Amino acid sequence: MSPPASNTEKQERNRQEKRTGYTYEEYKQTADWLLSNTEHRPTVAIVCGSGLGGLGDLLKDQVAFHYSDIPNFPQSTVPGHAGRLIFGNLNGKPCVCMQGRFHFYEGYPLWKVTFPVRVFRLMGVETVIVTNAAGGLNQDYKVGDIMVIKDHINIPGFAGNNPLSGPNDERFGPRFPPMSDAYDKEIRKLVVAIGSELGFEEKIKEGVYCGLGGPNFETIAECRFLNRLGADAVGMSTVHEVVVARHCGLRVMGLSLITNKAVMDYDSEATANHEEVLQAGKDSAKYLEKLVATVIQRIELNNNVI
């Protein structure tokens, strides 16, 4: 049995439980710690979705940290999310890559889920590339397609679960940030053009991603409802990171790998499962990786550190 907690420990635990966010100093402490432990100065951040961690392995001259070794960092608890932050160069551009992200369904509040995004901003990152595995709601989508995200629907946000809830820190961004231009139009065009150049234009779609809280996969009625609302793909991540990234002025590009077709028909015997998601990731990740690597090679950067 562990010894009883001291009063100081109890006070600290209470303080942690009542928190509604990180302080600016905590974001800064983590950014400074990372900058002092690597000579890399990333301008692009990549967030790897389920089964898409191979993107991190593409980086050259790697310096990697386990999340457990980084001050203030939450931990990844999901299979298919390694829990490493990798710095390195991809096609000559300095990048940082999250091999594993945090999700609402892991029990983390959204300000923890999105912690790394503001750390990246403070480190001088300008562009965030978010990737995810998603279920295809659009009947034209096939397993293995790559959806360039043109917009999102943030379902937890409808109910007030928004990472920007709570006091606003103007040093990061405004109280009421716009979201109608969340996914950079120029980069979207570039991705579609590169998909054609690389010879897999038939796999590239542009569509709307719907973010849910998870962890259960959707009911048939929910899939039909989301599709009628205008969603083309559904998943359990990404939208919170994008909201925080746009709030602090980062450019965003998003890609969904369609790992399964959402079940929309009561006669279907199919059910979604995580193993199928990871397997589809293994089979098709190479296309997504090639796309990301080529986009990174081509995007223009201007260093903007806050």
Q: Compute the distance between CA of residue 17 and CA of residue 7 in angstroms, rounded to an integer.
A: 15
Only segment of 10-18, 61-69, 93-101, 257-265 that touches ligand HPA (CB under 6 A): 257-265
Question: In the complex with ligand HPA, which residue's Cβ is closer, 223 or 252?
Answer: 223
Q: Compute the distance between CA of residue 59 and CA of residue 82 in angstroms, rounded to an integer.
A: 16
Only segment of 79-87, 128-136, 145-153, 180-188 that touches ligand HPA (CB under 6 A): 128-136
Only segment of 19-27, 127-135, 241-249, 290-298 that touches ligand HPA (CB under 6 A): 127-135
Q: Which residue is nearest to ligand HPA (CB)?
A: 135
Is 236 annotated in the active site? yes
- Residues 206-225: x/- map of binding to ligand HPA (CB under 6 A)? -----------xx-------
Query: 111 — alpha (psi -120 to 50), left (phi > 0) or beta?
Result: alpha
Among 100, 135, 163, 281, binds ligand HPA (CB under 6 A): 135
Question: In the complex with ligand HPA, which residue's Cβ is closer, 111 or 141?
Answer: 141
Q: What does DSSP say about strands 233-235 and 204-211: parallel, antiparallel, or unpaired?
A: parallel
47 binds ligand HPA per the rule CB under 6 A: no
Cis peptide leading into residue 42 (ω within 30°): no
The least distance separating ligand HPA from the CB of residue 280, rounded to whole angstroms, comes to 8
Is 260 annotated in the active site? yes
Is 105 annotated in the active site? yes
CA angle 237-29-95, nearest 5°? 55
Only segment of 16-24, 69-77, 160-168, 230-238 that touches ligand HPA (CB under 6 A): 230-238
Q: Compute the distance between CA of residue 166 and CA of residue 229 in angstroms, rounded to an integer.
A: 28
Q: By CB under 6 A, what part of segment 271-290 binds ligand HPA?
A: 272, 277
- What does the chain come to in residues? 306
Is 81 annotated in the active site? yes
Q: Which of 260, 285, 289, 293 is flagged as catalytic?
A: 260
Is 106 annotated in the active site? yes
299 binds ligand HPA per the rule CB under 6 A: no
For residues 210 and 231, the answer to whether their CB atoms sit within 8 Å is yes
232 binds ligand HPA per the rule CB under 6 A: no
Task: Give residues with Cβ within 8 angstroms of 131, minimum separation 6.
Answer: 46, 47, 48, 49, 52, 55, 254, 255, 256, 257, 288, 292
236 binds ligand HPA per the rule CB under 6 A: yes
The least distance separating ligand HPA from the CB of residue 12, rounded to whole angstroms, comes to 36
* Per-position DSSP letters for 27-69, written without gaps between them: HHHHHHHHHHH-S---SEEEE--TT-THHHHT-EEEEEEEGGG
Q: Compute the distance between CA of residue 35 and CA of residue 54 in angstroms, rounded to an integer.
A: 24
What stretch of H or E contains 133?
strand 127-136
> Which residues of the shown chain bind ligand HPA in the complex (CB under 6 A)?
133-135, 217-218, 234-236, 259-260, 262, 272, 277
| Catalytic sites, residue numbers | 50, 81, 103, 105-106, 133, 236-237, 260, 274
